[in-house]
Amino acid sequence: MAITEAKKMTTLQVKRFKPSENPTNTFLTDEKGVWAWMTTVDHKKIGIMYLVAVAFFFALAGFLAIALRTELWTPAKTFIEADTYNQLFTLHGAMMVFFVLVPSIPAALGNFILPMQLGAKDVAFPRLNLASLYIYVAGAIFTFAALASGGFDTGWTFYTPYSSDGNGAGVIWVTLGVFILGFSSILTGTNFITTIHKLRAPGITWDRLPLNIWALYATSIIQVLATPVLAITILLLSFENIMDIGIFDPALGGDPVLFQHFFWFYSHPAVYIMIVPGFGIISEVISTFSKKTVFGYWAIALSSLAIAFIGFLVWGHHMFTSGQSAVATTVFSFLTFLVGIPTGIKIFNWIATLYRGSIDMKTPMLYVFIFLFLFSIGGFTGIMLGALSVDIHLHDTYYVVAHFHYVMMGGTLIALLAGLHYWWPKMTGKMYNEKLAQISAVLIFIGFNMTFLPQFIMGAQGMPRRYYNYIDQFTPFHQTSTIGSYILGVAFLIILYYLVKSLFSGEKAPSNPWNSRGLEWQSTSPPDFHNFDHTPVVINGPYDYHKPMEEFQLGLAVSHEGHDAEHAPAEVDTTEEKA
Amino acid sequence: MANHSASHPAHVQHHFVDSDQQFDSAKLGMWVFLVNEILFFGGLFCAYIIFRAWYPELFTQAALQLDKVWGGVNTIVLIGSSLTVAMAIRSAQRNEIKGLRINLMITILLACVFLVIKYFEYEHKLHLGIAPGFFWNPAPEVTATLDHPQANIFFSIYYMMTGIHGLHVLVGIGLMIWLYIRAGKGHFSAEYYTPVEITGLYWHLVDLIWIFLFPLLYLIE
């Protein structure tokens, strides 16, 4: 009914709403107290709680990584037992993938930013959003239960028969934890798809969606289509463990390769769940700090969807040595090369955006350059691993470890850091120490390359992954890598220090410190409880830096009580604007 | 995108502009969730296809242990319940709350009939020792016709598929009891019946999955 009314109405009465620089009411001042936070359905608070949880798991899994690198300082035992080592690398991988990388950008930053970029008051299903946070916590509790019941040492991939030969309750607990966690991911994806379709503010047509939204949209599609397959896989695995149903265990007539197919049908698309939202952040930051329209808007937007689509067809490249048919491996190898195309499209469009831009090397932009460098290396080595003959040699070596860390840490985590520094003033209302931020960004770049470049060389020379001991010739590489990991650790501690410090003694952030045209910056810092105290109206694209700022601060002049034409200074004909 | 409307009815949550937007969002959300469900069962169907290709003779032998008649009755019962849930939605659209409650009640009863029949089928099989995993301990009259080393895999798949489907039926019953109570409190009308609509969508999917399970498990020869 209301929709037909809106169609009849050709003009919207709008006026300019300049965001206040001294907001008295923000989402942080409304609904105070622990209980209010724990029961809130506000997407901003939920996003921040997710951020804290993700940071906690990142610190924990990062600490494990440092312990692993320390153990690898010498070729033989340095300070922990081989069994402990196996458990630690499994835990590091499982936590980083399922508790950090998957929820990091969509559930933490995405939750906060997505409704604001759409001019909505909240996501479509706020209570499901809160539920997803608690489901995440429940999944975490299961993982700790797994540790308490003796740990697990299957590697993060939980391959059968490692995970099904009855090596303890730990595997059952942790896989059930991942099963539960999957629902949190599914709920976030469902919420985002619905919000993007149904809750856009007046004027936000599909060609005015920020690229961050396109990226989150593609991510949500993957989450919704892939995660349930992981859920059923884990359910089958659990029943295999609990009552020997014989689906995956070869001793009972089952098929362990079927587990690998099921697992990678989720877990390969899952790496795109991790990286595609990072692409969204890079698009936002690169445009804001180049003061320039993004080059190739549609190319970047649609390449996200292309990655989501092709990403579903390449899972077999994890199984080149698992006894797949030669035809299947050839097809999977070819399809793997195809994923490089949309990714390359993005990289070239970002670089074209930089061209003749007015580049401002603030911390978020620094991270974008680090991303472009590291992610390109990660991407190219991925193409090498997708090549059949090369992969037979490099399979299960440190080369794979290095490649994965270059795309996941050099890609996703660096993009997360870019986004965190970019939106920090909006989220907290405080500015961080720019100098310390830049120093730590440089330290991360140095530490990261020291840690993982040697691993490419070691891997190419045949050092297998997941090994506790190694032969003497790899010592210098391992030791460089270990020192690099310490530098990374220090850099992250500096980041933690200045971000926490900014909360207490940081300079007050203006509403739009980077002069961005993005809709999320046209609110107060930190935002109002309802994001905007008006209904935003959008008449330009999100990256139209050639248009004046006031055109990006429009809102409906109509109040909830009805039309009030006298106080509406501007009239915008929406049908005309679209042309 | 609709304009800010002047009135904000009680059932519209604060972040929606109007009732239509809320209804459309809920419906889209439910469709996305149903896609999820299809992928979830998809894994099981995939396992079914793989193992049927591996052990074709096992599947045709083992299917004889399943009771076609009661399976068929259950199929009719579930299709009937899909009809009544659709009638419930129609009643809500026409503002006939009494009809809505009657149709919901019939749907709940049919769903219960399905589960009772399922219970007797399970009970019969467990009695014969046809149980999943290491509980597999078939009675002599079973092994007389079903002599296959991997026989338990068919029934593992059978129990997983019908068990998870049964769980969905149970969830559906819970949802419809909740709807029935809310309808009694006068929460629904032609203006607002979103929960009835999306529960109906869910119920149709549960029905549809059974329509695939029945021939795949019971009717293969």
Q: Per-residue DSSP letters for B81-96?
A: HHHHHHHHHHHHHTT-
Residue A502 has which token pair?
Answer: 């900014």
Count of pairs with CB atoms under 8 A, one residue in A, one in B: 145
Contacts with B, A 224-253, CB within 8 Å: 224-229, 231-233, 235-236, 239, 242-247, 252-253
Residues found in chain A: 579
Across the range B142-165, mean pLDDT stands at 89
List beta partners, residue A361. none
Please say whether the beta carbons of A85 and A71 come within 8 A: yes
- Whether residue A190 and residue B29 make contact (CB cut-off 8 A), yes or no, is yes
Q: Which position has the higher pLDDT, B55 or B146?
A: B55
The pLDDT assigned to A166 comes to 65
Rounded to whole angstroms, how far apart are CA atoms A499 and A520? Answer: 21
Rounded to whole angstroms, how far apart are CA atoms B29 and B211? Answer: 24
Rounded to whole angstroms, how far apart are CA atoms A297 and A541? Answer: 10
**Tell me, what DSSP letter sits at residue A510?**
P
- Whether residue B36 and residue A186 make contact (CB cut-off 8 A), yes or no, is yes
Which positions in chain A touch B36 (Cβ < 8 Å)? 186, 190, 224, 227-228
Residue A87 has which token pair?
Answer: 């458990």
Please say whether the beta carbons of B100 and B92 come within 8 A: yes
- Whether residue A232 and residue B40 make contact (CB cut-off 8 A), yes or no, is yes
pLDDT in tens, B175-218: 999 999 999 999 999 999 999 999 999 999 999 999 999 999 99
Q: Which of A69, A50, A19 is nearest to A532 (CA)?
A: A19
- Whether residue B153 and residue A253 make contact (CB cut-off 8 A), yes or no, is yes
Residue A52 has a CB neighbour count (10 Å cut-off) of 9
| B144: phi then psi, degrees, rounded to nearest 5 | -60, -40
Residue B123 has a CB neighbour count (10 Å cut-off) of 9
For residue A390, give the 3-state DSSP assignment: helix
Name the CATH superfamily for B37-218: Cytochrome c oxidase, subunit III, four-helix bundle (1.20.120.80)
A120 touching B (Cβ < 8 Å):
yes
Rounded to whole angstroms, how far apart are CA atoms A437 and A416? Answer: 14
Report ipTM (2 d.p.).
Answer: 0.91
- The secondary element (H helix, E strand) that includes residue B171 is helix B151-184
Closest CB to B135: pick one of A236, A243, A535: A243
Rounded to whole angstroms, how far apart are CA atoms A190 and B85? Answer: 24
Residue A343 has which token pair?
Answer: 């990714």
Q: Which of A442, A473, A432, A263 is nearest to A369 (CA)?
A: A442
Closest residue of A to B43, CA-based? A229
Rounded to whole angstroms, how far apart are CA atoms B187 and A269? Answer: 42
Rounded to whole angstroms, how far apart are CA atoms B28 and B109? Answer: 28
A560 touching B (Cβ < 8 Å):
yes
Closest residue of B to A192, CA-based? B29
Closest CB to A3: pick one of B20, B51, B152: B20
Closest CB to B39: pick one of A121, A203, A228: A228
Residue boundaries of the structural domains of chain A: 2-578
| A41: phi then psi, degrees, rounded to nearest 5 | -110, 10
Residue B29 has which token pair?
Answer: 């959300």
A255 touching B (Cβ < 8 Å):
yes
C-alpha distances in Å from residue A222, one per residue of A250, A261, B18, B35, B80: 31, 17, 30, 12, 35
Rounded to whole angstroms, how far apart are CA atoms A487 and A446? Answer: 8
Rounded to whole angstroms, how far apart are CA atoms A474 and A457? Answer: 10
Cβ contacts of B35 within 8 Å, gap of 6 or more:
A224, A225
The pLDDT assigned to B184 comes to 94
Rounded to whole angstroms, how far apart are CA atoms B143 and B157? Answer: 19
Ramachandran assignment for A568, one of left (phi > 0), alpha (psi -120 to 50 degrees), beta (any other): beta
Please say whether the beta carbons of A491 and A423 come within 8 A: no
Selected for mutation to probe chain B from A12, A43, A238, A243 (highest B CB count within 10 Å) is A243
Residue A46 has which token pair?
Answer: 């939920």
Q: Is the pTM of this model over 0.80?
A: yes
The helix, strand and coil proportions of chain B, stated in percent and rounded to the nearest 5, come to 75, 0, 25
**Tell me, what DSSP letter sits at residue A556?**
E
B8: confidence class by pLDDT, cuts 50, 70, 90: low
Angle at A182 between CA A179 and CA A185, to 5 degrees: 170
Please say whether the beta carbons of B154 and B51 come within 8 A: yes
- Whether residue A228 and residue B37 make contact (CB cut-off 8 A), yes or no, is yes
Task: Quote the minimal CA–CA distance from B109 to chain A in Å.
Answer: 29
- Whether residue A232 and residue B33 make contact (CB cut-off 8 A), yes or no, is no
**Tell me, what DSSP letter sits at residue A527?**
P
The pLDDT assigned to A561 comes to 43
Write out B15-35 in H/E/C secondary structure.
CCCCHHHHHHHHHHHHHHHHH
Question: Does the pLDDT of residue B6 top 50, yes or no?
Answer: no
- Whether residue A2 and residue B5 make contact (CB cut-off 8 A), yes or no, is yes
Per-residue pLDDT of chain A (579 residues; tens, 9 = 90+): 444 455 555 567 888 999 999 888 899 888 888 999 999 999 999 999 999 999 999 999 999 999 999 999 999 999 999 999 999 999 999 999 999 999 999 999 999 999 999 999 999 999 999 999 999 999 999 999 998 888 888 888 888 888 887 666 888 899 999 999 999 999 999 999 999 999 999 999 999 999 999 999 999 999 999 999 999 999 999 998 888 888 998 888 889 999 999 999 999 999 999 999 999 999 999 999 999 999 999 999 999 999 999 999 999 999 999 888 899 999 999 999 999 999 999 999 999 999 999 999 999 999 999 999 999 999 999 999 999 999 999 999 999 999 999 999 999 999 999 999 999 999 999 999 999 999 999 999 999 999 999 999 999 999 999 999 999 999 999 999 999 999 999 999 999 999 999 999 999 999 999 999 999 999 999 999 999 988 999 999 999 999 999 999 999 886 544 444 444 444 444 443 433
CATH code at A2-578:
1.20.210.10
Task: Quote the minimal CA–CA distance from B63 to chain A in Å.
Answer: 18
Residue boundaries of the structural domains of chain B: 37-218
Task: Quote the minimal CA–CA distance from A122 to chain B in Å.
Answer: 6
Q: Which of B129, B136, B128 is nearest to B152 (CA)?
A: B136
Contacts with A, B 27-86, CB within 8 Å: 28-29, 32-33, 35-37, 39-44, 46-47, 50-51, 54
Please say whether the beta carbons of A268 and A326 come within 8 A: no
- Whether residue A245 and residue B28 make contact (CB cut-off 8 A), yes or no, is no
- Whether residue B33 and residue A190 make contact (CB cut-off 8 A), yes or no, is yes
Question: Does the pLDDT of residue B4 top 70, yes or no?
Answer: no
Rounded to whole angstroms, how far apart are CA atoms A389 and A575? Answer: 57
Write out A83-126 in H/E/C secondary structure.
HHHHHHHHHHHHHHHHHHHHHHHHHHHHHHHHHHHHCCCCCCCH
Task: Quote the minimal CA–CA distance from B219 to chain A in Å.
Answer: 22
- Whether residue A121 and residue B15 make contact (CB cut-off 8 A), yes or no, is yes
Task: Quote the minimal CA–CA distance from A281 to chain B in Å.
Answer: 25
Rounded to whole angstroms, how far apart are CA atoms B25 and B31? Answer: 10
Which positions in chain A touch B157 (Cβ < 8 Å)? 247
Rounded to whole angstroms, how far apart are CA atoms A217 and A209? Answer: 10
Please say whether the beta carbons of A231 and B40 come within 8 A: yes
Rounded to whole angstroms, how far apart are CA atoms A410 and A152? Answer: 27
- Whether residue A2 and residue B156 make contact (CB cut-off 8 A), yes or no, is no
C-alpha distances in Å from residue B26, one per residue of A117, A192, B29, B95, B171: 21, 13, 5, 20, 18
The pLDDT assigned to A465 comes to 94
Rounded to whole angstroms, how far apart are CA atoms A506 and A432? Answer: 6
Which positions in chain B touch A324 (Cβ < 8 Å)? none
Closest residue of B to A3, CA-based? B2
A438 touching B (Cβ < 8 Å):
no
Residue A400 has which token pair?
Answer: 């794979």
